[in-house]
Chains A and B, each alone.
Chain A
Amino acid sequence: MPKYLAKVKVMLKKGILDVQGKTVENSLRTLGFDTISNIRIGKYITFEIEAESLEKANYVANTATDKLLYNPNIETYSYEVDEILEEK
C-alpha cells in the first residue's frame, strides 16, 4: 500500500496574543533585528499514513488533525500530504 507523508502546521488564531512569540521578538530586537515584527510561534507535526490513495490519506490527515492535533478555540491549521516515493 502506498505511504504518504502528512505535514501539519498549527498556529494560534490571529488576534490571540502569542506571548512566546512576543518574547522571542523582543529578544531578536535586542540583538539588533529591528526590522522584525509579529513573530508567531506554532507547531509543525509530521506523520506517515498508509492509504490506498492520496484522497484517502488527505482524509486521514484532516480528521486526525481535527480530532486531536489542534484546538479550534484557539488555533487554526493547514496541512499538506504527499506520497512517499520509494527509492529504486
Chain B
Amino acid sequence: MKFAVVIFPGSNCDHDAYYALKHNLGFEVTFLWHKDTTIPNDIDCIILPGGFSYGDYLRAGAIARFSPIMREVISFAKRGGLVLGICNGFQILTESQLLPGALLKNYSLKFVCKDVFLKVINNNSPFTSFMKVGDVLRIPIAHFEGNYYADEYIIKQLEDNEQIVFQYCDEFGKVTEDANPNGSLKNIAAIVNKNRNVLGMMPHPERYCDPILGGTDGKLVFMSIVNFLNKI
C-alpha cells in the first residue's frame, strides 16, 4: 500500500502531507512531480496537496488542472484509483471536473485560518471508512476560496447520492450558520464523487496528525483510506 503526493509549482502542504503519512502514520509515500507523465503501478492513493498552485492565477486550480501529471491523475481516478484533494487540491479536482461544483471566494472576503469542527455525514467512502456517522472531528482550515458552490440540481444530486461527506458544525455536531466559516452551501466541507473514489475537502487533515501540532483527528482520514485498502 502506497501513497503519492503531487507537487505543483506553488504547492505548500506537500511536505506536510508526506511527513504526516510517513512519520506520524508510518505509511509508504512518495512524491510525484507536476511534469511527470506516468504514475508508478504500486500507488494506491494520490494526494493533491494544499497551497497556491500556479499562484492561483486565473482561478484557483485552473492551471494545475492542465499540468502533465493531471492527465495521469484523471485517468487513475477514472480507473477507480483513490484521489484525495486537500484545499487547493479540492479546487484542482473541481476544475478537473472530477468533482462537481466550484469554490468561490469566502463570504467574509477574508483568508480564514482556524480550527473548525466537521460532522461526518456518511462513512460510505474510503476516506471515512474508519469513522462513524455523526462523529465530530476538529481539523484546521486555511483558505481564501473555500466557499463551496453548485447549482440546485447538483446539490440535489449530492444529497440524493450521499456525496456530502463532511459538513462544518459546532463542537457539539450541530450544523449551524455560525459554524460555517466561508459561506459554503449546505455547510459543505467535503464531497466525494459518485464512484466514491475521489474526495475533495477544504480542511487540512495532514496538519492534525501529530499531538505536538494541537490535534490528531486528521489521522482518521488517512487511517480510513488504509482501512479501506486493507479490506479489498
Could you tell me which A residues sit within 8 Å of B by CB distance? 16-17, 19-20, 23, 68-69, 71, 73-74
Assess whether B109 is in contact with A68, with CB atoms less than 8 Å apart: no
The secondary structure that dominates the B interface is loop
Say how far B177's CB is from chain A's closest CB, in angstroms.
Answer: 15
| Bound Cα distance from A17 to B183, whole angstroms | 10
Assess whether A16 is in contact with B58, with CB atoms less than 8 Å apart: no
Which of A23, A71, A73, A74 lies in contact with B109, CB distance below 8 A?
A: A23
B interface bracket (residues with beta carbon within 8 Å of A): 20 to 34
* Known A73-B94, A73-B150: A20·B66 in contact at CB below 8 Å: no
Tell me the residues in window 41-98 of chain B with beta carbons closer than 8 Å to chain A beta carbons.
Answer: 58-59, 62-63, 66, 94-95
Assess whether A74 is in contact with B58, with CB atoms less than 8 Å apart: no
Q: Which A residues are in CB contact (< 8 Å) with B66?
A: 68
Tell me the residues in window 101-116 of chain B with beta carbons closer than 8 Å to chain A beta carbons.
Answer: 101-102, 104-109
Say how far B226's CB is from chain A's closest CB, in angstroms.
Answer: 33
The total number of A-B Cβ pairs within 8 Å is 33
* Known A71-B102, A73-B150, A74-B104: A20·B62 in contact at CB below 8 Å: no
Say how far B147's CB is from chain A's closest CB, in angstroms.
Answer: 8
Could you tell me which B residues sit within 8 Å of A by CB distance? 58-59, 62-63, 66, 94-95, 100-102, 104-109, 149-151, 183
Q: Which B residues are in CB contact (< 8 Å) with A23?
A: 109
Assess whether B150 is in contact with A20, with CB atoms less than 8 Å apart: no
Given contacts A19-B104, A73-B101, 4 further A-B contacts (CB under 8 A): A20-B109, A69-B58, A71-B62, A71-B102
Say how far A70's CB is from chain B's closest CB, in angstroms.
Answer: 9
| Bound Cα distance from A73 to B104, whole angstroms | 11
29 examples of A-B residue contacts, CB within 8 angstroms: A16-B104, A16-B149, A17-B107, A17-B183, A19-B104, A19-B105, A19-B106, A19-B107, A19-B109, A20-B105, A20-B109, A23-B109, A68-B58, A68-B62, A68-B63, A68-B66, A69-B58, A71-B59, A71-B62, A71-B95, A71-B102, A73-B100, A73-B101, A73-B149, A73-B150, A73-B151, A74-B102, A74-B104, A74-B149
Q: Which B residues are in CB contact (< 8 Å) with A74?
A: 102, 104, 149
| Bound Cα distance from A27 to B198, whole angstroms | 41
| Bound Cα distance from A74 to B66, whole angstroms | 19
Say how far B61's CB is from chain A's closest CB, in angstroms.
Answer: 9
